[in-house]
């Protein structure tokens, strides 16, 4: 097991950098050293797919001097790891896929620009399931990433590299992306905090699309506060993303000031099935008991369409993916493998460039959008998706502030343990609902089961991330920081 | 084609017209829509479909599309939805075209045209939707390779789909000409088939006269002029009737028009093999147009050709021919109207615009915007002529000077000494000189030989270099030598 070495929270790094007690360059150096460290040996974690030491050292120097005259940014001097499907200028953006091998984006994502503007250092690119399709970070052209607290296990996915970068103590904050739980599930598996904001809260410009109506950039933090500061920095309207909301962004890192006293915490029965591991249930009960003691009302509620989330998700997401991934055709960038004529080139390039899970989902998505099947699958799935969203609207309209559930049905599983795609899909059973409904959700550590971290999930109404953070701060105070570590 | 065939068989035509909207930037990014730029200069991450790029709708394109829809009498829907049309092709960088499918911007319009016997008819407009253009594949630039130019990728288009209401190639041609004229008046497009800002695909079928059911249609593409469309329809109709009359069946397929050979040929792409897998574009929210906004666009619509023709006939008392020539393009009619209003004799203004001005422009109405003689200057010239300052001959000379220099008429007339002389003393002096030089003719005129008036006046005109006011000169001559 790799023991995390605390790098310091984002807040302390920012303060120390602003006051001159440390420098961005020194922070970056120690993060680089830590990254080298955890990657060494037979149990190397394989977190980064691209990490250019000298570029980062140069960059860190520049960003520190650039900001000496101005108000220190919220993340001044904080290294932030970036998932490999978010466009960055220097490091390649490959989505963990051969088809984008070596591809360097000529522009950067809005979220990365906002990080830099806040004084943060975009810190390399992290491993992921190819095109964010997977729940274990095993579907990567770069090989699997290991779970820092349990290196024989998966870190979860698809943002496993970013989760591991935080859990291994390399960086306090990392960016991931969510389509069906790709931030919350690895956060739970790695014992850290992971936030999926409301759909439209964060710009998707520069996030390589998987399923556009579900995708959202998410944030990992070693602590609730790290995640809150990360989200505060990247959130907000972006004219380059037509689906981003024109709403002001609250200071999430000030949400700790609000007490949970009088808040209504919903406990949806569909997320606590009979089959739930009693040890997991016990950890959740302890968390809920803390919240009750702090003055929150715990209320049993129901989200009756929860069970339909996975089937709906596996129609909507592949359908959009089949279209989004059409641009990887070997014509303009990325891999090209010659073949017999144009069709031969397409076929050779895409067959070699995409891994089996991506291929499976493209085929699935192409099928459900085909003439004659559209109504039976895609249209029907969209209708059911509305029912799932209505479940949430009804519960939140009834006075529930935040929902509390397990993030995953189980802790991290061993690398290579799940080979059946359907079984793998079921690991998103508690997380996919938030993406389908567009509501914000986060996972935070609530302890261990069988020695492995498990997470509790908080969900709130659209754009009510602040409430979610208030509860998370309170729970973290009650359970202790890194309750799962 | 034999008259009997035409008596037995009827052509049924519906047209799909793609029109490039005249916007400065593309439909979903800020790149320029400029025509003729070097390859791939007007591109960015969005229209190159780089990983992570997202579309942002051009509001101006929506306004122009709405303007067109309203002018074509369509219902503009308060909510329309962009959809992805998925297919693989190298010049389609995203692997899908952003278009509209089951919820288009506008539906249920019509265009009024005249049949060949001048009777009016309506051609239904099924739908008008917004979409983006693809890039261009260039097959003849590099041997053995295809080059891709993505300057056009993402340029905003509208597709206007007609009902199968036309029954002849002439009706199809009439529809296209009326449609083009309306779009030109609306200033929503350059409507140039040569530059590809207007493209026509024709769906055509044949059926026995009196049959209620439509025959199997083919889609004819690759026409580059309206007359090409008419010829292609004629040729394809004859082909289909030939097939049907001999007991065969028409295959639903795409036919390509070869203007050089005057033939249609089946396209290699198989119709029906396409499944475009349309689904709502998740990167763009539904397009929601407020009623007030639609009303404002409707209110701001310019005068349309039919209304302008009516008004010109009434207000300016112009004949049908003049009206048609002057309203053929909105720019020419705007020009004419400005001249007519400033000069106040609409018939004279019409003669000059139709004669001198259009001759100068050599029929290219688009150039009238940069034509050196502005309407108020032309009106100034006509005013000088009306006021007797310039003779008709001198006016034409002055006009030539205006075309060359852009200077106002009065200035040129002055500079070139073309102003009519009506000063009695000067005229009398010239007349005296002429009487002195031609004493015999003067005497015979005085004696009553009136036909010599021409000789005497002509001599004075020559002396005055054409500037002498003929009316005054005649009076003066009568006073001097009158019997």
Alpha-carbon distance of B28 to B25, in angstroms, equals: 8
> Quick one: how far is CA A21 from the chain centroid?
32
A3 has a pLDDT exceeding 60: no
Task: Give the pLDDT band (50/70/90) at residue A63.
Answer: low
Residue-by-residue DSSP string for B172-184: HHHHHHHHHHHHH
- Best residue of B25, B29, B43, B51 to probe chain A, by most A CBs closer than 10 Å: B51
Biggest CA-to-CA distance, chain A: 70
- Best residue of B91, B279, B280, B287 to probe chain A, by most A CBs closer than 10 Å: B279
Chain A nearest-CA distance from B130, in A, is 17
- The strand pair at B96-100 and B106-114 is best described as unpaired
Number of Cβ within 10 Å of residue B269's Cβ equals 10
The enclosing domain of A377 has a CATH number of 3.90.1300.10
- Best residue of A175, A203, A323 to probe chain B, by most B CBs closer than 10 Å: A323
Distance between start and end Cα atoms, chain B: 75
Residue-by-residue DSSP string for A223-263: SHHHHHHHHHHHBS--TT-TTS-------GGGGGGS--TTP
Task: Give the pLDDT band (50/70/90) at residue A4.
Answer: very low
Alpha-carbon distance of B51 to A147, in angstroms, equals: 28
Q: Are A6 and A222 a contacting pair, CB within 8 Å?
A: yes
**Cβ–Cβ gap A205/B284 under 8 Å:** no
Question: Could you confirm whether A398 is annotated as catalytic?
Answer: no
Q: Are A162 and A173 a contacting pair, CB within 8 Å?
A: no
Question: Could you confirm whether A83 is annotated as catalytic?
Answer: yes
Domain regions of chain B by residue span? 3-292, 424-481
3-class secondary-structure state, position A290? helix
Chain B nearest-CA distance from A100, in A, is 9
Question: Could you confirm whether A182 is annotated as catalytic?
Answer: yes
A2 has a pLDDT exceeding 50: no
What pairs with residue A476 in β-bridges? none
| Spatial CA neighbour of A406 closest among A314, A227, A222, A273 | A273
Chain A nearest-CA distance from B96, in A, is 7
- Domains in chain A: how many in total? 1
ipTM of this complex prediction, to 2 decimal places: 0.96
The residues of chain B scoring below 50 in pLDDT are 271
Alpha-carbon distance of B375 to B395, in angstroms, equals: 15
Alpha-carbon distance of B126 to B109, in angstroms, equals: 7
More confident residue, A61 or B332: B332
- Partners of residue A213 in chain B, C-beta under 8 Å: 282
Alpha-carbon distance of B35 to B38, in angstroms, equals: 9
- Partners of residue B96 in chain A, C-beta under 8 Å: 323, 326
* Least confident stretch, A65-74, A339-348, B98-107: A65-74
More confident residue, B430 or A1: B430
Report how many Cβ contacts below 8 Å link chain A to chain B: 102
- pTM, full prediction: 0.91
Alpha-carbon distance of A463 to A456, in angstroms, equals: 20
Give the model's pLDDT for residue B391. Answer: 81
User: Residue A266 belongs to what domain range?
Assistant: 1-485
* Least confident stretch, A202-211, A417-426, B386-395: B386-395
**Cβ–Cβ gap A327/B90 under 8 Å:** no
Give the model's pLDDT for residue A68. Answer: 54
- Partners of residue B287 in chain A, C-beta under 8 Å: none
The single residue listed with the structure tokens 């002429």 is: B434
Give the model's pLDDT for residue A69. Answer: 60
- Partners of residue B95 in chain A, C-beta under 8 Å: 323, 325-327, 329
State the architecture of B424-481 in CATH terms: Orthogonal Bundle (1.10)
Task: Give the pLDDT band (50/70/90) at residue A150.
Answer: very high
Alpha-carbon distance of A183 to A312, in angstroms, equals: 20
Task: Give the pLDDT band (50/70/90) at residue A5.
Answer: very low
Give the model's pLDDT for residue B46. Answer: 98
Active-site residue (options: A63, A97, A158, A244): A158
A367 has a pLDDT exceeding 70: yes
Residue-by-residue DSSP string for B186-221: HTS----TTTTSEEEEEEEEEEETT--SPPPPEEEE
| Spatial CA neighbour of A453 closest among A184, A272, A101, A232 | A184
Chain B nearest-CA distance from A400, in A, is 29
Q: Which two tokens stand for residue A185?
A: 């599930």
Alpha-carbon distance of A192 to A153, in angstroms, equals: 16
**Cβ–Cβ gap B55/A107 under 8 Å:** no
């Amino acid at each position: 097991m790799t023991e995390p070495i605390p790098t310091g929270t984002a807040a302390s790094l920012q303060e120390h950098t602003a006051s001159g007690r440390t420098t961005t360059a020194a922070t970056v150096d120690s993060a680089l050293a830590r990254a080298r460290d955890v990657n060494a040996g037979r149990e190397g974690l394989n977190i980064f797919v691209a990490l250019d030491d000298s570029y980062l050292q140069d960059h860190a120097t520049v960003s520190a001097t650039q900001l000496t005259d101005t108000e220190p940014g919220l993340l001044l001097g904080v290294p932030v790891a970036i998932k490999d499907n978010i466009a960055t200028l220097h490091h390649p953006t490959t989505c963990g896929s051969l088809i984008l091998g070596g591809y360097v984006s000529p522009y950067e994502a809005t979220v990365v620009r906002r990080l830099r503007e806040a004084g943060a250092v975009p810190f390399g690119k992290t491993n992921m399931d190819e095109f964010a399709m997977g729940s274990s970070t095993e579907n990567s052209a770069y090989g699997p990433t290991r779970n820092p607290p349990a290196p024989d296990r998966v870190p979860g996915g698809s943002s496993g590299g970013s989760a591991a970068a935080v859990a291994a103590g390399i960086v306090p904050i990392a960016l991931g992306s969510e389509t069906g739980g790709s931030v919350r599930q690895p956060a739970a598996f790695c014992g850290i905090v992971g936030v999926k904001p409301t759909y439209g809260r964060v710009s998707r410009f520069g996030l390589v699309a998987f399923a556009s109506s579900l995708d959202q950039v998410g944030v990992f933090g070693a602590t609730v506060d790290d995640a809150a500061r990360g989200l505060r920095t990247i959130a907000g309207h972006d004219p380059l993303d037509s689906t981003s909301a024109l709403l002001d962004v609250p200071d999430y890192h000030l949400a700790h000031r609000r007490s949970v006293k009088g808040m209504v915490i919903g406990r949806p029965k569909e997320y606590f099935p009979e089959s739930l591991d009693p040890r997991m249930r016990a950890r959740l009960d302890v968390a809920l008991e803390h919240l009750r003691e702090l003055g929150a009302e715990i209320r049993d509620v129901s989200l009756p369409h929860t069970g339909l989330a996975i089937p709906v998700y596996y129609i909507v997401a592949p359908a959009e993916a089949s279209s989004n991934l059409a641009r990887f055709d070997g014509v303009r960038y990325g891999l090209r493998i010659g073949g017999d004529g144009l069709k031969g080139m397409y076929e050779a390039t895409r067959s070699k460039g995409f891994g089996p899970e991506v291929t499976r989902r493209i085929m699935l998505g192409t099928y459900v959008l085909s003439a004659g099947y559209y109504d039976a699958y895609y249209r029907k799935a969209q209708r059911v998706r509305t029912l799932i969203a209505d479940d949430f609207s009804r519960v939140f309209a009834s006075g529930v502030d935040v929902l509390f559930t397990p993030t995953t049905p189980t802790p991290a599983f061993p690398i290579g343990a799940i080979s059946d795609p359907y079984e793998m899909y079921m690991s998103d059973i508690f997380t996919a609902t938030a993406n389908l409904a567009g509501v914000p959700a986060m996972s935070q550590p609530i302890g261990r089961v069988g020695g492995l971290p498990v997470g509790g999930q908080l969900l709130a109404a659209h754009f009510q991330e602040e409430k979610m953070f208030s509860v998370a701060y309170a729970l973290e105070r009650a359970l202790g920081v890194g309750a799962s570590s | 084609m034999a008259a009997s065939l035409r008596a037995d068989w009827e052509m049924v035509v519906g047209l799909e017209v793609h029109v490039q909207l005249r916007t400065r930037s593309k439909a979903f990014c800020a790149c320029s829509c400029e025509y003729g730029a070097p390859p791939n200069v007007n591109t960015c991450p969005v229209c190159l479909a780089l990983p992570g790029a997202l579309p942002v709708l051009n509001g101006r394109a929506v306004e122009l599309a709405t303007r067109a829809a309203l002018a074509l009498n369509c219902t503009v829907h308060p909510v329309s939805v962009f959809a992805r049309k998925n297919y693989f092709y190298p010049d389609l960088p995203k692997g899908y075209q952003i278009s509209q499918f089951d919820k288009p911007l506008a539906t249920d319009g019509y265009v009024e045209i005249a049949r060949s016997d001048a009777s009016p008819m309506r051609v239904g407009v099924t739908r008008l939707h917004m979409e983006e253009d693809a890039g261009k594949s260039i097959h003849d630039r590099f041997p053995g390779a295809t080059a891709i130019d993505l300057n056009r990728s993402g340029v905003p288009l509208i597709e206007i789909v007609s009902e199968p209401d036309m029954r002849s190639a002439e009706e199809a041609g009439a529809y296209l000409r009326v449609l083009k004229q309306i779009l030109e008046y609306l200033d929503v497009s350059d409507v140039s088939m040569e530059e590809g800002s207007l493209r026509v695909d024709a769906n055509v079928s044949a059926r026995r006269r009196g049959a209620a059911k439509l025959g199997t249609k083919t889609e004819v593409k690759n026409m580059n002029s309206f007359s090409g469309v008419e010829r292609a329809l004629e040729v394809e109709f004859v082909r289909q009737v030939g097939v049907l009359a001999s007991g065969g069946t028409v295959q639903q397929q795409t036919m390509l028009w070869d203007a050089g050979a005057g033939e249609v040929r089946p396209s290699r792409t198989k119709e029906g093999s396409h499944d475009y897998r349309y689904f709502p574009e998740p990167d763009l929210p539904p397009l929601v147009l407020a009623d007030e906004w639609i009303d404002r666009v409707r209110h701001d619509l310019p005068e349309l050709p039919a209304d302008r023709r009516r008004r010109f006939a009434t207000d300016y008392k112009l004949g049908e021919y003049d009206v048609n020539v002057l309203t053929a393009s909105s720019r020419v009619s705007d020009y004419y109207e400005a001249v007519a209003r400033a000069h106040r004799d609409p018939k004279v203004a019409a003669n000059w615009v139709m004669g001198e001005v259009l001759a100068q422009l050599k029929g290219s109405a688009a150039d009238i915007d940069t034509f050196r003689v502005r309407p108020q200057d032309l009106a100034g010239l006509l005013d000088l002529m009306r006021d007797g300052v310039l003779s008709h001959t001198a006016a034409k000379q002055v006009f030539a000077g205006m075309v060359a220099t852009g200077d106002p008429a009065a200035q040129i007339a002055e500079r070139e000494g073309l102003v009519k002389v009506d000063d009695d003393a000067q005229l009398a002096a010239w007349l005296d000189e002429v009487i002195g030089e031609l004493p015999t003719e003067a005497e015979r005129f005085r004696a009553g030989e009136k036909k010599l008036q021409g000789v005497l006046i002509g001599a004075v005109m020559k002396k005055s270099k054409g500037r002498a006011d003929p009316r005054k000169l005649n009076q003066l001559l009568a006073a001097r030598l009158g019997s």
